[in-house]
Chain A
């Protein structure tokens, strides 16, 4: 069964702190895709990153970085030097190759609050 678990429901940090959001997934497919989305209070899901299961290279984009480890089925997201504008709900999602719908299976989300 496919499943995405974000064990951290809420995280609160002070501005400029680093913060890591955890994501653990379950799938039987050998080919799959992992995503992170940001949902600000406006409600729109903002795409952040997509990784495929064959590419375990970590990625950095500005203050954002992602650590993909197949051995532990984890795809963690780190924000360096957090800012108040980073406050949002963050979702990790899984998409399997079979079926070719690309449907996303989301975790429950982690609410990040960055205080000034």
Chain B
């Protein structure tokens, strides 16, 4: 186990609703990245947080937003849910280094949007 935890494990929402997913990073790690993995696809980078600031963002609309707290835990918020938001959301923590740090993933939150 990596020590990265995510909650909840599963979630069902309806179109238009808002959702908050949570992640606790591995002890000693100061960076959290979020990824979206659609069924049968590889994970796609959503954004990264380092010391409570957004530090890079993938090709996702502004309705995907996040937070990082002083203890380095993080939240992913998605507003105005769409059917295509149904996916496994993975959180990864790492210790910021000069490029290419090992990222350790949590078990994911499976979101279903009906």
Contact = CB atoms under 8 A, between A and B. Distances in A.
Q: Do A and B bind each other?
A: yes
Contacts of A108: 40-42
Contacts of B55: 100-101
- Chain B, interface size category, equals 20 to 34
Contacts of B96: 100, 102
Contact of A100 (B41, B44, B99): B99
A97 B98 contact: yes
Interface string B1-16: 0100000000000000
Nearest to A100: B99
Contacts, number: 82
Contact of A45 (B44, B45, B99, B105): B105
A47 B48 contact: no
Given A103-B33, A103-B58, A108-B42, A50 B108 contact: no
A50 B56 contact: no
B108 A44 contact: yes
Interface string A33-60: 1010100001111110010100000000
A31 interface: yes
Contacts of B106: 44
A43 B101 contact: no
Nearest to B108: A43
Interface of A: 4, 31-33, 35, 37, 42-47, 50, 52, 91, 93, 95-109
22 contacts: A33-B99, A35-B102, A37-B105, A43-B88, A43-B90, A44-B105, A45-B92, A46-B105, A47-B103, A47-B104, A47-B105, A52-B100, A95-B99, A96-B99, A100-B99, A102-B33, A102-B94, A102-B96, A102-B103, A103-B33, A103-B56, A104-B45
